[in-house]
Structure 1
């Protein structure tokens, strides 16, 4: 049987396809803007027939209909990084959060956290019968490698993105659902607030010509990129690739010429943004989509020189401990790739691991720099992995500093109205330590 005959034999409705999902199984979903709402809604329609199905995923930007309380016990999310809807489900006990670095997802799927299948969202097959994972390779490649079943939503609107591990042959797929729907778009993020702009300016000063950047999507990353127009030969090795990079690519500032690993390529594990971004990456040879075990490996990250890894956090205490996942007594997001990239940048020649945060929260009523992380708040990033910390009041490098010196440095970039209070509490802490 040739692949075209095989393909036609496997085409069915979404409701038929999701009958492959059985009670007690764990299924991975493709990530972020690549999740198939078509398959998710079909699965919800048969939820009453199922018990104990877990949906293993990372960041969710969609509606996550399976997180509706009425599906609890039938369909539950199992995530390493919470989005807006999955955050509510895990906080209410209708799903679970699994702390894990992105670089180790493949190992988890192969050992302690196996998956039974993948709900994939892919391109139509090429002339050789291969579908492409498009804008989400991250751990989809691992689910293909370690899972047993694949249900593929084939969508003509999914861009074909180059990489080494992001194709599935028709022969590997168990059920095919054809439905052309727009990809989820992430609206532009307003980055004009003074705090983000000032943080962006301080971080831009740390980035030399020829640097290899990792950063996410949000106010501060956008603000940083607006300050890099005079840089030369920047490279990208990152998790997420979004619209904020397009102006620097089009101007030639980002070209990857000085990269050691994947020279001339933009290496990422998922793409999210606008329709224009999806059009830009479609069959663009500059784009190199790779799984999380590759992009987030500290060994791979460190192969490039001058890696500037820029990550946000929620709190930093005066010893350098970082919370990036817990807010108001609940899981807010996850560790994601923060530890991976901070460590990779630390071992990169000339690298700079950078953490950034506004100095305050809730209308300047709460300091994000605190004497010690409160009891019960997890340490997302250990103080041994913390180097540069940046707020709108400056940038300090904690690497090589003793505990007293770290505290003084962090107080210097706290909001001025909290500095005396922090200093008093810091002094009290040291009196209690009797050192």
Structure 2
């Protein structure tokens, strides 16, 4: 009788042999962050350089290490397409040899299904269990859609990948080929803990009531918020990204998830990053890694009362338009899930959405609160959805306010060095009289 182990051994190969099975003209995909088999992509690049294959397209979400298809010498023979950009994709897009796909993160599974051919899906998974299943570890994201869409599935089996009990699985019978390769999982870069971030974090934390369900973005300020929330109780987590700081909130008892009307008692995320996260989700039935089309759905978010979302921005104008993904016309990242959670939070009973950032950039020489967004800046959250803006100088409530009221509130939380100039510009435009 054929066993799962027999099938495993029959499909087991080397990374180089898996790379040799990829054909010219194929469109290949990986899911977010820890799901990317970086070594395989470098093997494919070597085959391209040798003239063995050509015209490959690769789709990624949030590249966290260098990838060959975001390097200029690959030309059009191995080209990267990014749904949300890390440093490599960002540089390639701005230099003209990489492509960015505008989207809300919640829509990527549908966009992949409707508009993208997927000849091969590459992923990094945990070792196979006794029933023949592999776990994708800290990733829900778009994995289920990719499994259904792709013509072929190739897996890197990495013993560092945690086994998520409530997350997507793939059976050995669905796999076309696999190889074993241990590699460290990606983590977020360390953030600098400073007084400014702690001030903003403390201001926002005061606005989060006990029993609230929260979503936090990435960076020093969200991390400061997690530290400031440790004295709270009965918080819930329904978040795009699960971080080490959120795990600390669970372990200290601030997060119980018991007040959530959906997935009561469970932490919900669509992906996770961090060594504490990887340890926490391993064989833990209290964590669910669910598809982004569900986790980031504003209608699902809105069903949680007192939902609070916190996300970052690069600049905000008097209208309340939020740019979080470009520096003027220069591409930085992508919309991600910011708009999803802003819309969900403002539709939640008692919910609040915060856009947070230091009042200045470039060592205090530039105000992040501006009269008009920089020419070419991309609007990530619209003026119609924005709720609260927070800097180290306070919190401005914009939702439900007129243009002049918004402008006064924003000037009030701008850095003092720029308030006179901002007031002058507002009067020049007849916003303030």
Return the TM-score normalized by structure 1: 0.95
Query: 2:133, 2:386 → 1: CA distance?
Result: 43
Question: Secondary structure at the residue paired with 1:364?
Answer: coil
Q: Which whole-Å deviations, capped at 9, do the CAs of 1:289-313 have from their partners, x for residues lacking one?
A: 0111111111111111111010101
Of the three residues 105, 128, 132, the one matched with 1:125 is 128
Question: Secondary structure at the residue paired with 2:380?
Answer: coil
Q: Which whole-Å deviations, capped at 9, do the CAs of 1:375-433 have from their partners, x for residues lacking one?
A: 321212110010011011101111111111111111111111111110110111127x9
Query: 2:9, 2:159 → 1: CA distance?
Result: 16
Query: 1:72, 1:337 → 2: CA distance?
Result: 31
Q: Is the 8 A contact 2:84 2:100 kept in 1?
A: yes
Q: Which whole-Å deviations, capped at 9, do the CAs of 1:210-230 have from their partners, x for residues lacking one?
A: 111101231001111111122
Which residue does the alignment assign to 1:367? 367
Q: How many residues in Structure 1 have an aligned counterpart in Structure 2?
A: 430
Query: 2:23, 2:202 → 1: CA distance?
Result: 52
RMSD in angstroms over aligned alpha carbons?
1.7
Which residue does the alignment assign to 1:242? 243
Query: Is 1:153 equivalent to 2:156 in the alignment?
Result: yes
Which residue does the alignment assign to 2:390? 390
Q: Is the 8 A contact 2:329 2:378 kept in 1?
A: no
Q: Which whole-Å deviations, capped at 9, do the CAs of 1:234-292 have from their partners, x for residues lacking one?
A: 01011111111222111111110100111111111111112x43122211111110111
Question: Secondary structure at the residue paired with 2:384?
Answer: helix
CA shift at 1:63, angstroms? Answer: 2.1
Query: 1:302, 1:145 → 2: CA distance?
Result: 29
CA shift at 1:187, angstroms? Answer: 4.5
Which residue does the alignment assign to 1:342? 342
CA shift at 1:358, angstroms? Answer: 1.0
Equivalence map 1:119-268=2 (5 Å): 119-164=122-167, 166-191=168-193, 193-268=194-269
Query: Is 1:37 equivalent to 2:58 in the alignment?
Result: no
Of the three residues 27, 44, 62, the one matched with 1:59 is 62
Q: Is the 8 A contact 1:55 1:75 kept in 2?
A: yes
Which residue does the alignment assign to 2:279? 279
Q: Is the 8 A contact 1:197 1:223 kept in 2?
A: yes
Which residue does the alignment assign to 2:406? 406
Query: 1:293, 1:329 → 2: CA distance?
Result: 28
Q: Is the 8 A contact 2:328 2:376 kept in 1?
A: no
CA shift at 1:325, angstroms? Answer: 0.6
Q: Is the 8 A contact 2:141 2:291 kept in 1?
A: yes
Task: Tell which deviates more after alignment, 202-211 or 324-333.
Answer: 324-333
Question: Secondary structure at the residue paired with 1:423?
Answer: helix
Which residue does the alignment assign to 1:424? 424
Unaligned runs of 5+ in 1: none
Which residue does the alignment assign to 1:99? 102
CA shift at 1:314, angstroms? Answer: 0.5
Q: Is the 8 A contact 1:18 1:151 kept in 2?
A: no
Return the TM-score normalized by structure 2: 0.95
Task: Tell which deviates more after alignment, 50-59 or 144-153.
Answer: 50-59
Which residue does the alignment assign to 2:19? 18
Question: Secondary structure at the residue paired with 2:395?
Answer: strand
Question: Secondary structure at the residue paired with 2:300?
Answer: helix
Unaligned runs of 5+ in 2: none
Q: Which whole-Å deviations, capped at 9, do the CAs of 1:321-356 have from their partners, x for residues lacking one?
A: 111111154101110001111011111111111111
Task: Tell which deviates more after alignment, 45-54 or 217-226.
Answer: 45-54
Q: Is the 8 A contact 1:34 1:184 kept in 2?
A: no
Query: 1:114, 1:430 → 2: CA distance?
Result: 51
